[in-house]
Amino acid sequence: MKKRTKYTKALALLLAALMILNGLTACGPASDAGSTEDAQASTEEPAATGQEDETQDALPEGQWAQKLNSREITSCSSIMLSDYFDEKFMEYISTHTEGNYMVSPLSFRYALGLLLAGADGKTKRELLDALGVQSEEEWIEYCLIFNGFVEKFAADLDADVSEFKKARQEGPISEDEAEPFRALRVANSVWKAERIKREFKNKYKESVEQNYGAEYRSFTAENAVEKINEWADIKTEHMIPELLPENYPTDDLAIVLMNALYFKDSLVNSFPKSETKEGDFHSWDERTTRKDFMSAEMEVLYFADDATELIILPMEGGVYMAIVLGATARFAEKISKAKYKNVKITIPKIDLETDLSNGELVDFLKQNGVNQAFNTQKADFAAMITHQVYVSDIIQKTRIKLDEEGVEAAAVTAVLMANGAMPEPAETKVFTADHPFSFFIYTTCNDTTAILFAGEIVE
């Protein structure tokens, strides 16, 4: 048994990785969703006439992605702010997962945005209520702020590279020294079965292009698994080469909404490889496993009380990794109280992959009041396409690697639809993560916290 409190489990989910939202399956006519005539149209019918539904020439793969909307980033910090959706999602996953795991709340959020943009009527209202927002605009605003951070992340890297090249030309930097590198990429795509002749509605395409930079792709029942896996593999730099198993059922697959999140960054203060040594990790059930532990003494943000001890490791691009021992209740509040201390840190290297493909994400939404989206007759996605579809599956796959130099992590989520302060002089603290701990990879910009990945190492 894992000796964790409800809150510990909830916050442990903040470090998410890959999430997959399965496609919508084609089904019979909707009883109360949009136009009955459109809903009853067969998959072979041409699109109905009218500005919204007029037939459009098929676009080549990879097309209709445009430069997405974003918000200017005016401030970033290591403070973590609470979020209704993240907290509910992490609480659910932590109580339905055994052993080590990781998730990506951010990847799930983007994939749900693609779904929300196509929902209508009661289906949309249920989704908004479950997501803890009053309107779709509120949900989009969160994504636009993170889009802005992605742009800032890339601009800062360009500036660092330019400065590096200039310094190398002037002599202070050796020709052998590696050029600065880090990556933060968000990719979204909308897929449709070739057998469905109706096109996505113009308003839906405009929304997902501008707010999510989505690209359009197509598939057949025969090549769906291969093409979806290839997209996930490329977008995650080969960290997630297989999102769907070879035997995944595709005969009724109609629409697939996908997000991929890839992150790689260096720690501001790396761990010397010479200090990495094998040691014992003690699980909740008193079992012991051998792990490679990294060690270093460095100045970091540190907090400790009777229930929690945590450190925050900064990365070069304005992203932070918090490692938490003990309870994670009121975690965001405790982060705000962290002070710079000299800390002797010992933490294990991590190479972890998590596959949420057994209905966990569907069950999470259902337990939070989303029902119509999964109903073959009542699902209302008339704002997306005049072809009756429902959500048949949601899948997420994540992976993270932590070593002496930094972090590399990725997540894929698919929705499938069928027919600071100056350091204080003080004593050296000791932080040893040789027993279960949680981790969070996050950034806070414009008073909005985005949790890219979260997880828990318990064995």
pLDDT of residue 168: 82
Return the HEC string of the chain: CCCCCHHHHHHHCCCCCCCEEEEEEECCCCCCCCCHHHHCCCCCCCCCCCCCCCCCCCCCCCECCCCCCCCCCCCEECCCCCCHHHHHHHHHHHHCCCCCEEECHHHHHHHHHHHHCCCCHHHHHHHHHHHCCCCHHHHHHHHHHHHHHHHHHHHHHHHHHHHHHHHHHHCCCCCCCCCCCCEEEEEEEEEEECCCCCCCCHHHHHHHHHHHCCEEEEECCCCHHHHHHHHHHHHCCCCCCCCCCCCCCCCCEEEEEEEEEEEEEEECCCCCHHHCEEEEEECCCCCEEEEEEEEEEEEEEEEECCCEEEEEEEECCCCEEEEEEECCCCHHHHHHCCEEEEEEEEEECEEEEEEECCCHHHHHHHHCCCCHHHCCCCCCCCCCCCCCEEEEEEEEEEEEEECCCEEEEEEEEEEEECCCCCCCCCCCEEEECCCCEEEEEEEEECCEEEEEEEEEECC
Cα 72 to Cα 425: distance, rounded to the nearest angstrom: 36
Q: What are the pLDDT digits (tens) for 136-195?
A: 999 999 999 999 999 999 999 999 999 888 888 877 777 667 788 899 999 999 999 999
Q: For residues 318-343, give the mean pLDDT.
A: 91
Name the band, by pLDDT with cuts 50, 70 and 90, for residue 96.
confident
Taking residue 271's Cβ as centre, other Cβ atoms within 10 Å add up to 23
Give 191-211 pLDDT, tens digit per residue.
Answer: 999 999 999 999 999 999 999
Least confident of 3-17, 178-192, 329-343: 3-17
pLDDT digits 0-9 by tens, 308-319: 999 999 999 999
Question: In whole numbers, what is the pLDDT of the chain averaged over residues?
Answer: 85
Higher pLDDT, 114 or 90: 114
What's the pLDDT score for residue 15? Answer: 30
What confidence tier does 420 reach under pLDDT thresholds 50, 70, 90?
very low
pLDDT bin (cut points 50, 70, 90) of residue 241 is very high
Higher pLDDT, 93 or 112: 112
To the question of domain 6-42+70-449 being in CATH 3.40.1190.20, the answer is no
Q: What is the pLDDT of residue 426?
A: 57
What confidence score (pLDDT) does residue 286 get? 82
**In which band, very low, low, confident or very high, does the pLDDT at 54 lie, cut at 50, 70 and 90?**
very low
| Minimum mean pLDDT range among 170-174, 212-216, 331-335, 428-432 | 170-174
Residue 347 pLDDT level (bands cut at 50, 70, 90): very high
> Global pTM?
0.85
Q: What percent of the chain is predicted at pLDDT more than 90?
A: 71
CB of 314 within 8 A of CB of 259?
A: no
Note the pLDDT of residue 269.
Answer: 93
Average the pLDDT over 269-287 and give the result: 93
Of 128-142, 192-206, 275-289, 423-437, where does mean pLDDT reach its minimum?
Answer: 423-437
- Whether the per-residue pLDDT at 135 is higher than 50: the answer is yes
Domains of the chain, residue spans: 6-42+70-449
For residue 456, pLDDT over 50 is answered with yes
Residue 393: its pLDDT value, please?
97
Share of the chain above pLDDT 70, in %: 83
The pLDDT of residue 422: 40
The pLDDT assigned to 166 comes to 85
pLDDT digits (tens, 9 = 90+) for 351-373: 999 999 999 999 999 999 999 99
For the ranges 174-183, 229-238, 297-306, the lowest mean pLDDT is seen at: 174-183
Asked whether the predicted pLDDT for residue 14 surpasses 80, the reply is no
The pLDDT value recorded for residue 24 is: 53
Between residues 188 and 53, the one the model is more confident about = 188
Instruction: State mean pLDDT over 117-126.
Output: 97
Q: What is the pLDDT of residue 25?
A: 52
